[in-house]
Each structure stands twice: as C-alpha cells, then as structure tokens.
Amino acid sequence: MLETTRFLLRKLASDRTAALGALIITLLVVVAIAAPVLSTHPGDVTEFHPPERLLPPSGDHFFGTDRMGADVYSRLLFGARITIAIAVIAIGASVLVGIPVGLVAGYYRNWVSDALMRISDIFLAVPQIVLAIAIAQTLGPSIENVILALSATYWPFWARLVYAETRSALNDTYVEASIALGASPWRVMILHVLPNISSSVIVRTTIGMGGTILTAAVLGFLGLGPPAPSPEWGRTIAESREFLPEAWWYATAPGLAIFLVVMGFNLLGDGLRDILDPRTRRSGDG
C-alpha cells in the first residue's frame, strides 16, 4: 500500500499538469483549514462595516469589500470551507451509495439488478443539475440540503461505472476461478472485483469533485445554497451582480476561486487517469 502510494506520488510529480492540479487542491485544503489565520479580517463572515462597503482592492482589502463592507478576501477563504465540505460529503455519500448498488447490480443477474440499473438510468436521463435544482428547491436553502440534493443526483454515475466495471471484471479469469472455487459473493466482490475497479472509481471521483463544486456553485448562485450571510462562492457572485460594473472585484474574485479549484481537480483527474488506467489513456491531453 505504501509502495503504491509512493509510486503514485512519484508519477504525479513527473506529470507537470497533474502536479499543478495536486498543488491547487493542496492549497485549497490548507486555505480552508487555516482560514482564520490566513484571513486579514477573520470576523467579516458575520461582522459588517456598512461605512466601508464596496471599497476597491487595496493593501488592507486584497479583493476589496462587499455590499456589507466585509473583506472579500477573508470571506473567500471561509467560503473554501463550505466548498470543501459540500464536495467531500456529497461525493462521499454518492460513492458510498453508488458503489454497493453498482457491485450488486453487476454481480447478480436478476430482476433486482435490472431494477437498480433502470432507476439509475432514469436519474441519468436528465441533466443532473436539473434534478438537483428540483430537490434543493423543495428542501429549502441550506448547506445540508445542497449536499442532499447533490448526493441524491450523483450516486447513479458511480452505480453505472461500477456496474460496467464489475461486469467486465467478472469475465477476468482469476475472478471466474475464485467463483468456481466457491468463494462467497461478498468475498468475490470485496476482495477481487473492488480492488480491480478502484482505479476508475478514483479517477471518476476526482473529476466528479470538480463537477460537484461547479454544480454547488450554481445552486448557491440561484439562491438554493446556504442563506446569507454565508460566504459561499456562488451566492457571493449572485449578490455582486447589482453592484456591477462598478464593483468588478466583488464578482471576479469568487469566480476565479471556483475556476482554479475546479481546474485543479480536473487536471489531477486527467493525470490520475493516465497513471492508473492505461486503457483509457488520453492519447493527447486536450
């Protein structure tokens, strides 16, 4: 395990773009954890200074101030916590639901597995964000509901992937052999199939993080995310619109943050795919 990790890290370091992606994500995590230390006005998520509203970027306010006179830079750092929390929990839940569903549906060939796959196909038949909007709208704006809406609509992606990979893994000789030797279904799934498909799941999950962050930002932008005065990035951009074009910094900074973070996950995901999954190697890295 340690060997594998070390191998992975070495490979990643040698792929410049993947390394850049990893760097951006590390930075995001550091920023989120150390937000109170790194921010110049740590109280500004909750404290407002109306006389200082809409100030342009300066030495005191790196990215200016917002409509409440709060420091945009500091709020950005705290917003990173929300982004990470949403992405990690939502993706985690989707993976935890999607993998067992995909495994079971892929391993057994009966009506249960057909039903499971048909249900995930229905979810996949609509753009994911459309369903997420519907769910988030019903549940009401909050960070928990965003997570719920995202997990409820994301799990089928993993179910589909794991299903397809399981079906093909079952054709591998050694899996066939262990079934023939009488290994129990769970033993086969967990000891043989799961390790076999972990590469594609890891790759899909990494790229899925980027997608989730984008979707979460859309929900925030539509007012379905955590309510004001949350420093969530999507909401901040929505708030900034009525102060354009004068307060350009207000809209620009959070969008740039989303852009960087999503790009980080995408680059890392592409890099991981090259390393872990040579079959689907991008022949060039468009």
Token pair 């980080």: residue: 264
Residue list 143-202, contact with other proteins (CB under 8 A): none
Site string for other proteins, 76-115 (x = CB under 8 A): ----------------------------------------
Determine the Cα–Cα distance for residues 198 and 179; give it in Å rounded to an integer: 20
Stretch that binds other proteins, among 63-71, 81-89, 92-100, 120-128 (CB under 8 A): 120-128
131 touching other proteins, by CB under 8 A: yes
Determine the Cα–Cα distance for residues 15 and 21; give it in Å rounded to an integer: 10
Among 57, 123, 229, 243, indicate the residue that binds other proteins (CB under 8 A).
Answer: 123
10 Å Cβ neighbour count for 100?
16
267 touching other proteins, by CB under 8 A: yes
- Stated as kind and residue range, the H or E segment containing 146 is helix 143-170
The tokens for 115 are 């039903």
10 Å Cβ neighbour count for 105?
25
51 touching other proteins, by CB under 8 A: no
Nearest alpha-carbon partner for 267 in 7, 15, 14, 8: 15
Site string for other proteins, 243-262 (x = CB under 8 A): -xx--x--xx-xx--xxx-x
Cβ atoms of 169 and 193 closer than 8 Å: yes
Under the rule (CB under 8 A), what is the footprint of other proteins?
Answer: 118-119, 121-123, 125-131, 133-135, 137-140, 210, 214, 217-218, 221-224, 234, 237, 240-241, 244-245, 248, 251-252, 254-255, 258-260, 262-263, 266-267, 282-286
